Structures are given as structure tokens and as C-alpha cells.
Amino acid sequence: MARTDVEVAIAAAVAGAEAVARYYGSAQVRVAKSTSDFATQADLDAENAIMSILAKHRPNDARTGEETGTSGTTSSPRRWLIDPLCGTANFAATTPLVVVNVALIAELGSIAAVAVDPIAGEIFWTLASPPTCATATKTPH
């Protein structure tokens, strides 16, 4: 059975959050992105997990990840935006204020957005049509 866009977004964000959670509390090697920004292996693994889900379920959509850039069908009017670990500095300092973000946009605006707290295991999502308020649930473990 085909998944809806929000179901794909949730699955992708949960996969990214599971990758992040595996690293939480361990020493983090910092990979410099600029003089004032860095990524960790958790960022990279989370983005790869998210991209894998999106490529499997929405192969014709464009994807833009914070760490890996653009992939997929770049001419597609549908684009997934991925921030695999928002709060990398907090994460590296073991401050549990982080989130994994996955959103889908199209020519007319947002379609779906998901934020998963990999430490608390909470999922927050919204859907543009029909308009849906953000919902929170626990991630399946």
C-alpha cells in the first residue's frame, strides 16, 4: 500500500532520529563545515537514513539535505528539505535540545512537515491539506 506524503515524512524523520539517538551521549568528532559551523557523524548518518527512505518512497522528488546538498529529480516541483540534526552544538555537548526536521514543499507552498525529538521520542507533524494541527506521539521503539 502506498504511503501518504506525511507518512513518508514521519518514517524518514523517525529513521533519522533513530540514527541520532544511537550517538547521543558519546564523544562526537566534529567535521568542520565552515569556521563557525560543524557536523558530526550523527548528522551524516541521520541524513543518509532520511534520504534512503525518501529515495525509496518518493524517487521522483527532489531532495535537499543540509549535509549532502541536492539529490533526486532536481527539476521536480516537489522538494524535500532535510535538517538531520537541528541543534548539533547542543547534541555535541549532550544538551537534549535537538530535533530532526523533514519537510515537503511544492510550487504552491508547504505540503507536510515533521519534527522528531530523538531524545524524548516525540513526533510533531503538520499537514497543509486538509489543514491539520501539529500532533505529538511517541516514536515506535
What is the per-residue pLDDT across 42-99, written as a single tens digit (0 to 9) for each? 999 999 999 999 999 999 999 999 999 899 888 999 999 999 999 999 999 999 999 9
CATH architecture of 5-138: 2-Layer Sandwich (3.30)
Residue 108 has pLDDT above 90, yes or no: no
Residue 141 has pLDDT above 50, yes or no: no
What residues contact 100, with CB distance under 8 A and at least 6 apart? Answer: 13, 16, 17, 20, 46, 50, 83, 84, 85, 86, 115, 116, 118
Task: Map out the domains of the chain as residue ranges.
Answer: 5-138
Amino acid letter for position 16: G
Residue 132 has pLDDT above 60, yes or no: yes
Helix (H) or strand (E) holding 63: strand 62-65
Amino acid letter for position 128: A
Quote the mean pLDDT of the chain. Answer: 91
Q: Residue 69 forms beta bridges with which residues?
A: 65
